[in-house]
Amino acid sequence: MNKTMKAETAVSVPTKTDNARRVETLLAHMSLEEKVAQLAQISGAPWNEGPDPEEIIRERGIGSILWLNDTKRFNELQKIAIEESPSGIPILFALDVIHGYRTIFPLPLAMAASWDPVVAEQAQAVAAKEARAAGIHWTFGPMLDIARDARWGRIVEGAGEDPYLGAAMAAAQVRGFQGEDLADPERVLACAKHFAGYGAADGGRDYDPVYLPETELRNVYFPPFQAAVKAGVGTFMSAYMDLNNVPANSNRWLLRDVLREEWGFAGFVVSDAFGVGSLVVQGHARDRQDAALRSLKAGLNMDMASSAYLENLAGLVEDGSLTMGEIDDMVRPILALKAEMGLFEHPYVDETLLDRVVARPEHRQAARRAAQRAMVLLRNEGGLLPLAKGQQNIAVIGPLADSMEATEGSWMVFGHKSAAVTVLQGIRAKLPGATIAYAPGPEIHRDIPHPFGEFDMTEKKPIQTPEDAEAAFQTAVKTAQNADLVIMVLGENADMAGEFASRGSLDLPGRQEELLKAVSALGKPVVLVLLNGRPLSINWAADHVPAILEAWEPGTEGGNAVADILFGDVNPGGKLPVTFPRSGGHAPLYYARTLTHLPEDSPRYYSRYWDSPTTPLYPFGYGLSYTTFAIDNLKLSAAKIKVGQAVTVTADVSNTGSVAGDEVVQLYIHQKWGSDSRPRRELKGFERVTLQPGEVKTVSFSLGPDELGYWSTNAGRWIQEAAPFDIWVGSDSLATCHAALEVVE
Ligand code: BGC
């Protein structure tokens, strides 16, 4: 490092007024070409097809670089920007750091299953520390898309189906990434994505169009995004798909009217990758120039990787289609955030920092605790779990049992080498003296390879032949036969959920269920551990396998966390953040539907499938424990309140079993009638509590205008009505502990 490349240390940064002055001074002096460059994010990846980074930085600077994960290179490019570009504006280095940089945490869907926003905040704070030490300033997270269709692969990246839980997880993740102050050198800038509606893609097919009426957007899909704005998120990413026939990347109503004017968002918006250029392919823009014009007019500040802004914006100003003022308005928040982060004073990263930061033992501890808290016990017949540590002869079976990739899951940062503790390793570490046999059984793979495979330079293993798969199947059954207890680790590979990973079926892929049946037929006790990134329709297992632990894609410490739970060092307390449907054909399935004229409890209930139950396999909010709980004594501070007032709801939760454990107490409401039909149940409060055997706690929730109001189609605005409400408190969305509330004028 030379003298100008001073490392980031505890920083003193200028005041807000100094920053604002700096931005205006820069804007007054920058050329149009430089301004346009600040509106561009270019690729730093080896497969880069865009402009050469060094050349463009030297000539006119650049707003941001993505898809580069190389600390030394960050400093080299930054040095060119600071010392050689005309205005010396620092570059924002951006990368997808979704659930950890080096220490990998459970995927966001799993983190939501913890129902513990504090643990989600801590996870993203660790991710921020590691990423920032590597030189990354900005992450493309959190992903805040509500997803109610389990076929959609990206369901794994969000907090599930519910706006209330989603909003809590959104705010927590923003706080974790950004901290209190953007100038904190151990934090990164967050990005709320993908604005908005992406999770409702038709048929769960990635990128397919989305048709959502305003009532759905405002009541269901927007709340996590608005929570992110309230938590101070610095940036937004617009989505790829058409929202009601207008691509989100050029949707003025979303980007200007809602985001900026209504919500007061003052940061900047980046497109999704290549999104501006894609407007042409999507049949929205005539050509790339038209695409650039439409997006900029719509309020999109930064073009991710398509170069349509770089190629066209200057010309559009010159021919009068855009004014310099419009360009300045788009550049201003980008420069402001660079200034607020202290990048003008501290543009470089200390190249020796990363190794020290990733070695911090507390990062691994945090990852293990997060994984423990995220896991959901789905079944435990006859109290098979927890297993005794004296178990001496165990078979661990399944294609995911020793897979580091499946344990860490999808969305790794570029160049990440998995170092996860697998379930097999975790069990071996827990029982050092025991005989633990292992057989993977037949491999599983996608019918159509994942496109990211093209970028992965590692040598690909040929797909197992049917003969080899059969031999692996028989070996697995034989291995199980020789054991006293079988732990099966099944689910989906890392590349089976995430982007480009939608499915029609929700069954266990490959021959996994067949193997589960064959092993179960041996008559030994069987525990099923699921590693997966979406709800799976494990109908047979739900009826026949006595113990099932949903471990999701639990991260670097995942195998240890599984062993902690299986052998009783930790009592599971996670709850499902999504409904588990009984088949792909049941999706989308979610709990917060409105009533029909022939509801389930009516004697003439016809709105069901004639070939399968319409009830979910597991309901939203569901999860068991090694102990039992009772939730009762539900009280309202008033049975009647006026519109605009709040009521306090309290209930007692007691641990009625014999070991300590966690219960997530959940509050649901239903407005019985009004201008619009309201969902039969809506989550409006939750709290995860730890209780010793026999201990009782009183939990308390407040229901005020925010919880009791809604956006009404009939009124065309937010309203709160005088109406009767049902209130339920319980341990999942089928809660039965009930009280009535009357809201009057
Ligand atoms: C994804 C985004 C991601 C971006 C940059 C896109 O394909 O949809 O979620 O942040 O790539 O990697």
pLDDT in tens, 180-239: 999 999 999 999 999 999 999 999 999 999 999 999 999 999 999 999 999 999 999 999
Q: 201 C-alpha to center of ligand 1: Å?
A: 16
Instruction: Kindly give the residue spans of alpha helices, DSSP state H, lying in 160-269.
Output: 163-178, 214-216, 223-230, 252
Q: How high does pLDDT run on average in the chain?
A: 95
User: Cβ contacts of residue 61 below 8 Å, gap of 6+?
Assistant: 34, 37, 38, 81, 85, 86, 87, 88, 89, 91
| Ligand 1 atom closest to the CA of 191, numbered from 1 | 10
pLDDT at 48 over 60: yes
Catalytic residue among 184, 272, 290, 303: 272
Task: Please tell me the predicted confidence (pLDDT) of residue 460.
Answer: 65
Span 75-109, pLDDT tens digits: 999 999 999 999 999 999 999 999 999 999 999 99
Q: In percent, how much of the chain has pLDDT > 70?
A: 97
User: Between residues 96 and 612, which one has the greater pLDDT?
Assistant: 96
Nearest CA to ligand 1 atom 6: 273
Span 461-482, pLDDT tens digits: 788 999 999 999 999 999 999 9
DSSP string, 584-608: GGG-S--S-PPP-SS-TTSSS--SS
Task: Please tell me the predicted confidence (pLDDT) of residue 4.
Answer: 41
pLDDT at 8 over 90: no
Q: 499 C-alpha to center of ligand 1: Å?
A: 8
Which neighbouring-strand residues pair with 642? 744
User: Cβ contacts of residue 128 below 8 Å, gap of 6+?
Assistant: 97, 139, 176, 177, 178, 179, 186, 187, 188
In this structure, what token pair is assigned to residue 619? 């309901």
pLDDT at 435 over 60: yes
In this structure, what token pair is assigned to residue 688? 């995860």
Task: Please tell me the predicted confidence (pLDDT) of residue 602.
Answer: 79
Nearest CA to ligand 1 atom 7: 273
Kindly state the DSSP code that residue 627 receives in the 8-state scheme.
Answer: S
Cα angle 314, 37, 263; round to 5: 95
Q: 271 C-alpha to center of ligand 1: Å?
A: 9
Burial 461-481 (b: 16+ CB within 10 A, else e): eeebeeeebeebbeebbebbe
- Spatial contact of 410 and 492, defined as CB atoms under 8 Å apart: no
Residues with CB under 6 A from ligand 1: 96, 140, 193, 272-273, 499
In this structure, what token pair is assigned to residue 136? 């990354």
Mutate to test the pocket of ligand 1, among 272, 303, 502 (most ligand atoms within 8 A of CB): 272
User: Cβ contacts of residue 109 below 8 Å, gap of 6+?
Assistant: 155, 156, 157, 158, 159, 160, 533, 534, 552, 577, 578
| Longest CA pairwise span in the chain (Å) | 81
Compute CA distances 135 → 8, 40, 131, 173, 353, whole Å. 10, 19, 7, 20, 9
Whose tokens are 């006790």? That residue is 525
Span 632-677, pLDDT tens digits: 999 999 999 999 999 999 999 999 999 999 999 999 999 999 999 9
Q: Is 732 a catalytic residue?
A: no
Nearest CA to ligand 1 atom 12: 96
Nearest CA to ligand 1 atom 2: 272
Say how far apart CA 356 and CA 23 lie, in whole Å. 35
In this structure, what token pair is assigned to residue 229? 């704005």
Q: Which of 18-32, 162-176, 307-321, 592-606 has the lowest mean pLDDT?
A: 592-606
- Spatial contact of 555 and 99, defined as CB atoms under 8 Å apart: yes
**What average pLDDT does this structure show over 336-345?**
97
| Ligand 1 atom closest to the CA of 143, numbered from 1 | 9
Span 134-176, pLDDT tens digits: 999 999 999 999 999 999 999 999 999 999 999 999 999 999 9
pLDDT at 307 over 60: yes
Instruction: Kindly give the residue spans of alpha helices, DSSP state H, lying in 504-654.
Output: 512-520, 539-544, 558-566
pLDDT at 459 over 60: no
- Spatial contact of 629 and 732, defined as CB atoms under 8 Å apart: no
pLDDT at 313 over 70: yes
| Ligand 1 atom closest to the CA of 240, numbered from 1 | 8
Nearest CA to ligand 1 atom 4: 273
Say how far apart CA 380 and CA 627 lie, in whole Å. 11
Q: 451 C-alpha to center of ligand 1: Å?
A: 13
- Spatial contact of 627 and 571, defined as CB atoms under 8 Å apart: yes
- Spatial contact of 305 and 41, defined as CB atoms under 8 Å apart: yes
Span 549-563, pLDDT tens digits: 999 999 999 999 999
**What average pLDDT does this structure show over 363-373?**
98
* Banded pLDDT at 520 (limits 50, 70, 90): very high
Which neighbouring-strand residues pair with 616? none
Which neighbouring-strand residues pair with 529? 489, 549
E-state strands within 492-563 = 526-531, 547-550
Q: 273 C-alpha to center of ligand 1: Å?
A: 6
In this structure, what token pair is assigned to residue 372? 């423990």
Mutate to test the pocket of ligand 1, among 97, 499, 500, 502 (most ligand atoms within 8 A of CB): 499
Say how far apart CA 108 and CA 143 lie, in whole Å. 8
pLDDT at 411 over 80: yes
Cα 672 from chain centroid (whole Å)? 32
Q: Please report which helix (H) or strand (E) contains residue 716, including its range.
A: none
- Tell me which amino acid residue 84 is: E
Task: Please tell me the predicted confidence (pLDDT) of residue 456.
Answer: 59
Compute CA distances 624 → 51, 197, 249, 556, whole Å. 54, 32, 42, 24
- Spatial contact of 227 and 258, defined as CB atoms under 8 Å apart: no
Q: 637 C-alpha to center of ligand 1: Å?
A: 47
- Tell me which amino acid residue 396 is: V
Task: Please tell me the predicted confidence (pLDDT) of residue 447.
Answer: 87
pLDDT at 2 over 50: no
**DSSP-derived 3-state class of residue 658:** coil
